[in-house]
Amino acid sequence: MGWPWVLCGAGLGLLIGSFIGAVAMRLPRDEGIVTGRSRCDGCGRVLAVRDLLPVISHVFARGRCRTCGAVIDTQHLLAELGGALVGGAAVALGADWLGALTTAIFGWQLLLLALLDGRHFWLPKRLVALLAVSSVLVTLAATNWQGVALSQIAGGALGFALLAAPALAYRWLRGREGLGKADPWLLGAIGLWVGMFGVIATLLLAALAGIAAAIVLRLAGKNIDSQSALPLGLFLALAGIAVRMVGLPL
């Protein structure tokens, strides 16, 4: 697909990313997602349309509220840029429109999960369940409701087992949790989208990303030891997006 369509995908991703950013901010505060006007976190002013233009508003306002000057949370900008990147890349790398759309849906869901886990170490069960269910629905719709491929089911089962087994072993040996309880379920849901080979690649990439992050934090002077926690869900989500974009066979 040509560059005009890639730009259209990125533009749609900007809008989706803006919504994702709002959800990522509101969910941890138990605020309504659909209802309620967007407000400044500093002064509470209801934001106007010109304050809500993805990326553009942030740039022209220099990342601050026009009324009180409070710094706007950069998570909004990250969500918008991430949404645009997912949308544009899905169209650029997709073999057809159906493939591009399904990849974008997958990527946008993982983007939200990455933002939540990266900041709050939280992977909401309902969002992980939605990721799994949407994979099944997308597959059934794409195959005229003929069924889900065995390799897809195997990818989900393998993804869950790859993290659930070591988590159980660690708990038995050390008497405490070594992984987040939602991490195996997240990898299992990703496996439903990327299959057996894809889920293995996802875990390897996530592990490498985690090691790289630990090294960077150590070089920055942070104390990294066996008690330190890193957001594995964040790395799994980003790795899952990358693997899906590459398009490894199920």
Task: Give helix 150-174 / helix 183-219 axis angle, nearest 10°.
Answer: 60
H helix runs in the chain, sequence order: 3-26, 56-60, 74-93, 97-120, 125-142, 150-174, 183-219, 232-246
Return the pLDDT at 127: 97
Query: How many residues does the structure list for the chain?
Result: 250
pTM of the model: 0.91
For residue 86, give Cα distances in angstroms to 4, 19, 104, 111, 117. 16, 14, 6, 9, 18
For residue 193, give Cα distances in angstroms to 27, 33, 151, 155, 174. 25, 26, 10, 8, 33
Helix, coil or strand: residue 64: strand
- Mean pLDDT in residue range 38-59: 79
Across the chain, which distance is largest between two alpha carbons, in Å? Answer: 57
* C-alpha span between 166 and 152 (Å, rounded): 22
Are the C-beta atoms of 41 and 73 separated by less than 8 Å? yes
Asked whether residue 177 carries a pLDDT value surpassing 90, the answer given is no
CA 52 to chain centre: 22
**Residue, of 5 and 236, whose pLDDT is higher:** 236
For all residues of the chain together, what is the average pLDDT? 89
Helix, coil or strand: residue 152: helix
Return the pLDDT at 35: 65
- Mean pLDDT in residue range 159-183: 88
